[in-house]
Structure 1
Amino acid sequence: MNHIVSLKWLLARMYEPDVVIVDCRFLMGQPDAGRELYEASHIPGAVYLDLERDLSAPVEEHGGRHPLPDIFDLTVAISRVGISNESLVVAYDDQGGMMASRLWWLLKYLGHEQVFVLDEGYTAWVDAGFPTSSQQKTLIPARYLATVQHNMLVEMDEVKELLGQDRVTIIDSREGPRYRGEVEPMDKVAGHIPGAINRFWKDGLSDNGAWKGADAQSERFADLDRDGELIVYCGSGVSATPNIIALQEAGFSKVRLYAGSWSDWISYSENPVAVGDEEGKKHVK
Structure 2
Amino acid sequence: MRNVVTMKWLLARLYEPDMVIVDCRFQLGQPDAGRHAYEESYIPGAVHFDLERDLSSPVGEHGGRHPLPDINELVQKLGKAGIDRNVRVIAYDDQGGMMASRFWWLLRYLGHEQVYVLDQGFSAWKSAGYPVTNAAPPVRFPKTFEAQLHPEMLASVEDVRRASQEGTDVLIDSREAPRYRGEMEPIDKKAGHIPTAKNRFWKDVLGADGAWKSAEEQRERFGDLKEEESIIVYCGSGVSACPNVLALEEAGFQNVRLYVGSWSDWISYIHNPITNGDEDYRAK
Alpha-carbon shift at residue 167 of structure 1 (Å): 4.8
Deviations 1:24-73 (A, max 9, x none): 00000000000000010000000000000000001111000000011111
| Distance in 2, Cα, partners of 1:257 & 1:191 | 19
| Distance in 2, Cα, partners of 1:166 & 1:190 | 22
The alignment's TM-score, normalised by the length of structure 2, stands at: 0.97
| Distance in 2, Cα, partners of 1:143 & 1:152 | 23
Answer whether contact 2:194 2:273 (CA < 8 A) is retained. yes
Alignment match, 2:5:
5
Deviations 1:63-88 (A, max 9, x none): 00000011111111211211111110
Pair 41,279 (structure 1): closer, same or farther in 2 beyond 3 Å? closer
Alpha-carbon shift at residue 139 of structure 1 (Å): 3.1
| Distance in 1, Cα, partners of 2:82 & 2:59 | 27
Alignment match, 2:117:
117
| Distance in 2, Cα, partners of 1:59 & 1:167 | 29
Alignment match, 2:101:
101
Larger mean CA deviation between 12-21 and 159-168 belongs to 159-168
Equivalent position amino acid for 1:151 in 2: E
Alignment match, 1:236:
237
The alignment's TM-score, normalised by the length of structure 1, stands at: 0.96
Alignment match, 1:190:
191
Alignment match, 2:85:
85
Structure 2 residue 19 is matched with structure 1 residue 33: no
| Distance in 2, Cα, partners of 1:190 & 1:269 | 13
Alignment match, 1:283:
none
Alignment match, 1:253:
254
Alpha-carbon shift at residue 260 of structure 1 (Å): 0.3
Q: Secondary structure at the match of 1:26?
A: coil
Pair 151,86 (structure 1): closer, same or farther in 2 beyond 3 Å? same
Percent of counterpart pairs with the same letter?
A: 61
Q: Which stretches of structure 1, 4 residues or more, deviate above 4 A after TM superposition?
A: none
User: Structure 1: which 5+ residue stretches go unaligned?
Assistant: 281-285
Alpha-carbon shift at residue 254 of structure 1 (Å): 0.5
Q: How many residues align?
A: 280
Alignment match, 1:160:
161
Alpha-carbon shift at residue 279 of structure 1 (Å): 4.5
Q: Secondary structure at the match of 1:274?
A: coil
Alpha-carbon shift at residue 140 of structure 1 (Å): 2.4
| Distance in 2, Cα, partners of 1:30 & 1:141 | 30
Q: Secondary structure at the match of 1:275?
A: coil
Alpha-carbon shift at residue 162 of structure 1 (Å): 2.2
Q: Secondary structure at the match of 1:91?
A: strand
Equivalent position amino acid for 2:33 in 1: A
Equivalent position amino acid for 2:224 in 1: D
Larger mean CA deviation between 73-82 and 22-31 belongs to 73-82
Equivalent position amino acid for 1:143 in 2: T
Alignment match, 2:126:
126
Kindly report the root-mean-square deviation, in angstroms, between the aligned alpha carbons of the 2 structures.
1.0
Alignment match, 1:49:
49
